[in-house]
């Protein structure tokens, strides 16, 4: 299925990442958004508030992020593609509803334009310190998908992918931007509607009498029905059976959690996405994501000028994590260098995936500005020297 | 005698989930029966009816009603319902939950949905206690009743829910006890026929936790109390509706007015600002002009 042209602003634009993310969401057919103002993410909903009335969408500024993060789930069960937008403190408030979306398998998209933390931290300055929160922030066992754009163009592209992945796998999808990418202005090309692929909701073809709302298909994902179509849905945040009815015992818990986790874990190879550069013959591989991947490219250039054979792996899909590829590379390279705008989050995943087969070097940064590329270059050079 | 006649409310209940979790003498089931009766007597299209609950004893209502049912998170059913209703105005959306869920943890959503005049009916079962968690003090608990978290007696000011809803702009406000089953069912029916943020408070007994701990007897004693101490005062000033420990309970319909719903106001504003570029958003069945027979049904 292709995009509805009413939401597609085809052409060459000069946009910041926040506005580009908004355009991606409109292009893929998002027609419900709920938000609460928070720097540095607010431009996304400001643009939505201006654009939605012209294409039949509904935006509501809710009373807080808790409300915004569940209003979108009501809208999803009414049949709309729905999203919310936030940053650090608001993301913390939304955690309970990421869990609700996970257990009720509600397709919805959360944009988090990360800033420095903890708490109020650095409202106007960048960070990447919500990466583990994105994965683990709500209580209980569940899986999500998280993406990390490095440019305004990619904010547009990944916004589209986020909605498509949410529909395909029926999970909350998190677009983990940062203040730099959100506020950086670059050229963004928005293609024609007919070239934008849109994943439709997995509407059930069954009659209400034959339909069980949480009966999985072969890929462990159930087909969906919406309110108002006579299916008499029962959707609950309690542990439930295939009818959606609450069941309070360990067998029902095992069956449900096993499926919620495995529908993503078993599909990891289909979902992971990363870009590699100069990996062949590299002694050191820099693993990075988001704005830090662009800074790391300069760091790698500086190290290469000093004679280090350095390659780069950029995570586009951050969760699920490409552990298979990291393990493959671990037996070939002498070190992974992992710069990120936090005190060591995704580096823990690199370590876990490398299984001790190579060195893993953390290049932390508390946030507030991007790394100095020279710091990354020095870390690469040190990692290469230590092993030569 | 082999009487095959079915209770007329049965089609609206998930009978495969019975018996319910509610204790003997609890008022929630009575209120659900009134709700189902109101459906049988109304012209509402049940296919388009969605029930949203939060967490708690009353939060389980959504799971026993055979409509599109959403059992959400603690305190947030009104926020979920806001998204559900705005995304598909064809739906009749009813939020059915307890006073702890709607007014304590969910109080912020309650006041803002009322202010916005979101087109939903909010049914609040007020039993003065957190039942599901075992008898803790709630925002309507009166002094000097005791609770597990107020063992020496409650001393905070109790919330007057009708006054709160009134001051936030609700267009319909009624209160009944579970003794007033006919009046309650009629109130629900009347509320179905209106648009905007409608609020019905139901005073209900919790024999297991509130009554037992405070030596107030069982469910039947609660009915006697409601019968003897309730006074019907339609149109009463909501400010006067405070409920103290075993005090007189004023019941009736207190507010019945009109003002633009969120979507009506949105359409008006966007049409003024955008003119022909704006296609009015559909408003749904509750905004249709009422036909004569419907007006009679609710009279």
What residue ranges define each of the domains in chain A, with the CATH number in brackets?
5-195 (3.40.50.970), 273-387 (3.40.50.920)
Interface touch A67/B281, C-beta < 8 Å: no
Tokens of A63: 């009373």
Task: Please tell me the number of Cα atoms within 13 Å of A313 on its side-chain side.
Answer: 31
Chain A residues lying within 8 Å of B112, measured CB to CB: 62-63, 67
SS3 A381: helix
SS3 B50: strand
Does some domain include residue B124? yes
Per-residue pLDDT at B292 = 46
Tokens of A77: 């069960």
Interface touch B87/A80, C-beta < 8 Å: yes
* DSSP bridge partners of B130: B136
Distance (Å) of CA A163 to CA A149, A170, A188: 14, 10, 19
| Contact predicate A282/A333, CB 8 Å | yes
Does some domain include residue B191? yes
Does some domain include residue B11? no
Tokens of B198: 């409608």
Per-residue pLDDT at B284 = 86
Q: Determine contact: B287 vs chain A, CB below 8 A.
A: no
Report how far residue B187's alpha carbon sits from residue B175's, in angstroms, rounded to the nearest whole number: 9
What's the full length of chain B, in residues?
299
Residue of B nearest to A97 (CA): B73
Min CA distance, A5 vs chain B (Å)? 16
Q: Determine contact: A234 vs chain B, CB below 8 A.
A: yes
Range of the structural domain that residue B225 is part of: 27-297
Name the strands in the sheet holding A284-289, side by side, starting at the edge strand that comes first in the sequence. Answer: A274-277, A310-315, A284-289, A335-339, A359-363
Per-residue pLDDT at B71 = 98
Point out the residue among A53, A60, A246 whose CB comes nearest to the CB of B86: A60
- For chain B, state the CA radius of gyration: 19
pLDDT tens across the length of chain B (299 residues): 567 889 999 999 999 999 999 999 999 999 999 999 999 999 999 999 999 999 999 999 999 999 999 999 999 999 999 999 999 999 999 999 999 999 999 999 999 999 999 999 999 999 999 999 999 999 999 999 999 999 999 999 999 999 999 999 999 999 999 999 999 999 999 999 999 999 999 999 999 999 999 999 999 999 999 999 999 999 999 999 999 999 999 999 999 999 999 999 999 999 999 999 999 999 988 887 655 444 444 43
Per-residue pLDDT at B4 = 81
DSSP 8-state secondary structure symbol assigned to residue B104: I
Min CA distance, B250 vs chain A (Å)? 32
Which residues have a Cβ under 8 Å from the Cβ of A26 and sit 6 or more positions away? A7, A8, A9, A48, A51, A52, A55, A57
SS3 B262: helix
- Average pLDDT rounded to a whole number, residues A180-203: 98
Interface touch A67/B79, C-beta < 8 Å: yes
Tokens of A201: 């909701």
- In this prediction the pTM is 0.97
- Average pLDDT rounded to a whole number, residues A259-270: 98
Does some domain include residue B236? yes
Per-residue pLDDT at B294 = 44
Point out the residue among B47, B63, B278 whose CB comes nearest to the CB of A236: B63
Point out the residue among B14, B112, B274 whose CB comes nearest to the CB of A63: B112
* DSSP bridge partners of A59: A33
Per-residue pLDDT at A337 = 98
Interface touch A77/B270, C-beta < 8 Å: no
SS3 A297: helix
Which residues have a Cβ under 8 Å from the Cβ of A39 and sit 6 or more positions away? A87, A115, A123, A124
Confidence of residue A386 (pLDDT cuts 50, 70, 90): confident
Report how far residue B68's alpha carbon sits from residue B47's, in angstroms, rounded to the nearest whole number: 8
Helix extents (H) in chain A: 17-28, 42-51, 65-77, 88-93, 95-104, 131-136, 152-169, 179-183, 250-265, 268-271, 291-305, 323-330, 346-354, 373-387
Per-residue pLDDT at B190 = 97
How many domains is chain B built from? 1
Q: Determine contact: A64 vs chain B, CB below 8 A.
A: yes
Per-residue pLDDT at B172 = 98
Chain A residues lying within 8 Å of B61, measured CB to CB: none
Does some domain include residue B7? no
Answer whether residue A347 shows pLDDT above 70: yes
Distance (Å) of CA B33 to CA A320, B132, B205: 47, 21, 15
Does some domain include residue B85? yes
* Contact map slice: B 158-187 vs A, CB within 8 A: none
Query: Any idea what the CATH number is for the domain that residue B188 is in?
Result: 3.40.50.970
| Contact predicate A380/A299, CB 8 Å | yes
Q: Determine contact: A208 vs chain B, CB below 8 A.
A: no
| Contact predicate A41/A15, CB 8 Å | no
Residue of A nearest to B90 (CA): A228
pLDDT in tens, A85-137: 999 999 999 999 999 999 999 999 999 999 999 999 999 999 999 999 999 99
Per-residue pLDDT at B293 = 45
Q: Is A56 exposed, middle or buried (0-12, 13-18, 19+ CB in 10 A)?
A: middle
Point out the residue among A32, A60, A71 whose CB comes nearest to the CB of B80: A71
Per-residue pLDDT at A387 = 56
Residue found by looking up tokens 């190290």 in the block:
A303
Q: Determine contact: B233 vs chain A, CB below 8 A.
A: no
pLDDT in tens, A25-71: 999 999 999 999 999 999 999 999 999 999 999 999 999 999 999 99
Tokens of B30: 């009575």
């Amino acid at each position: 299925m292709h995009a509805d042209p009413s939401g597609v602003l085809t052409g060459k634009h000069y946009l910041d990442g926040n506005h580009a993310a908004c355009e991606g969401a409109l292009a893929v057919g998002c027609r419900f958004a709920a938000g609460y103002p928070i720097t540095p993410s607010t431009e996304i909903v400001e643009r939505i508030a201006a654009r939605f009335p012209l294409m039949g969408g509904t935006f509501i500024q809710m009373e807080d992020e808790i409300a915004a993060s569940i209003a979108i789930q009501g809208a999803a069960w009414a049949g709309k593609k729905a999203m919310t937008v936030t940053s650090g403190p608001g993301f913390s408030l939304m955690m309970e509803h990421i869990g609700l979306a996970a257990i009720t398998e509600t397709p919805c998209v959360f944009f988090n334009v990360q800033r420095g933390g903890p708490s109020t931290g650095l409202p106007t300055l960048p960070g990447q310190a919500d990466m583990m929160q994105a994965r683990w922030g709500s209580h209980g066992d569940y899986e999500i998908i998280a993406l990390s754009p490095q440019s305004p163009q990619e904010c547009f592209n990944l916004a589209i992918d986020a909605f498509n992945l949410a529909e395909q796998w029926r999970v909350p999808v998190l677009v983990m931007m940062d203040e730099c990418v959100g506020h950086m202005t670059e050229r963004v090309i928005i293609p024609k509607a007919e070239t934008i692929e849109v994943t439709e909701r997995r509407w059930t073809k069954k009659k209400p009498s034959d339909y069980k709302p949480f009966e999985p298909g072969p890929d462990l994902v159930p087909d969906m029905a919406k309110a108002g179509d006579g299916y008499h849905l029962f959707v609950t945040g309690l542990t439930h059976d295939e009818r959606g009815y609450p069941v309070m015992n360990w067998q029902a818990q095992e069956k449900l959690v096993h499926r919620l986790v495995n529908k993503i874990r078993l599909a990891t190879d289909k979902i992971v996405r990363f870009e590699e550069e100069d990996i062949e013959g590299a002694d050191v591989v820099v693993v990075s994501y988001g704005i830090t991947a662009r800074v790391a490219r300069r760091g790698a250039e500086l190290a290469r000028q000093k004679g280090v054979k350095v390659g780069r792996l950029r995570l586009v899909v951050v969760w699920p994590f490409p552990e298979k590829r990291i393990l493959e590379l671990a037996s070939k390279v002498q070190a992974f260098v992992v710069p990120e705008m936090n005190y060591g989050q995704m580096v823990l995943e690199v370590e876990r995936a490398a299984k001790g087969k190579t060195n893993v070097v953390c290049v932390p940064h508390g946030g507030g500005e991007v790394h100095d590329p020279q710091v990354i270059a020095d870390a690469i050079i040190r990692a290469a020297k230590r092993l030569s | 005698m082999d009487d095959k006649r079915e209770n007329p409310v049965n089609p609206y209940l998930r009978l495969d989930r019975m018996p319910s979790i509610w204790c003997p003498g609890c008022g929630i089931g009575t209120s659900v029966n009134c709700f189902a009766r109101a459906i049988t007597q109304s012209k509402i299209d049940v296919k388009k009816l969605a029930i949203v609950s939060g967490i708690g004893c009353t939060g389980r209502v959504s799971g026993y009603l055979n409509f599109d049912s959403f059992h959400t998170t603690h305190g947030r059913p009104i926020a979920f319902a806001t998204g559900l209703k705005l995304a598909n105005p064809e739906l009749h959306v009813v939020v059915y939950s307890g006073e702890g869920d709607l007014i304590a943890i969910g109080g912020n959503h309650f006041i803002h949905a009322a202010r916005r005049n979101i087109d939903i009916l909010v049914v609040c079962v007020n039993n003065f206690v957190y039942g599901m968690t075992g008898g803790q003090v709630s925002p309507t608990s009166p002094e000097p009743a005791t609770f597990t978290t107020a063992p020496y007696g409650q001393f905070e000011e109790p919330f007057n829910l009708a006054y709160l809803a009134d001051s936030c702009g609700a267009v319909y406000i009624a209160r009944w006890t579970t003794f007033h089953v006919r009046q309650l069912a009629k109130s629900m029916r009347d509320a179905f026929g209106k648009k905007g943020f409608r609020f019905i408070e139901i005073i209900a007994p919790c024999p297991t936790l509130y009554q037992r701990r405070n030596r107030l007897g069982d469910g039947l004693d609660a009915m006697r109390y409601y019968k003897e101490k309730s006074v019907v005062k339609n149109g009463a000033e909501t400010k006067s509706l405070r409920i103290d420990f075993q005090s007189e309970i004023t019941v009736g319909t207190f507010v019945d007015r009109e003002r633009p719903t969120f979507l009506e106001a949105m359409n008006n504003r966007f049409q003024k600002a955008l003119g022909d570029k704006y296609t009015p958003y559909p408003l749904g069945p509750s905004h249709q002009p009422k036909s004569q027979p419907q007006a009679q049904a609710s009279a």
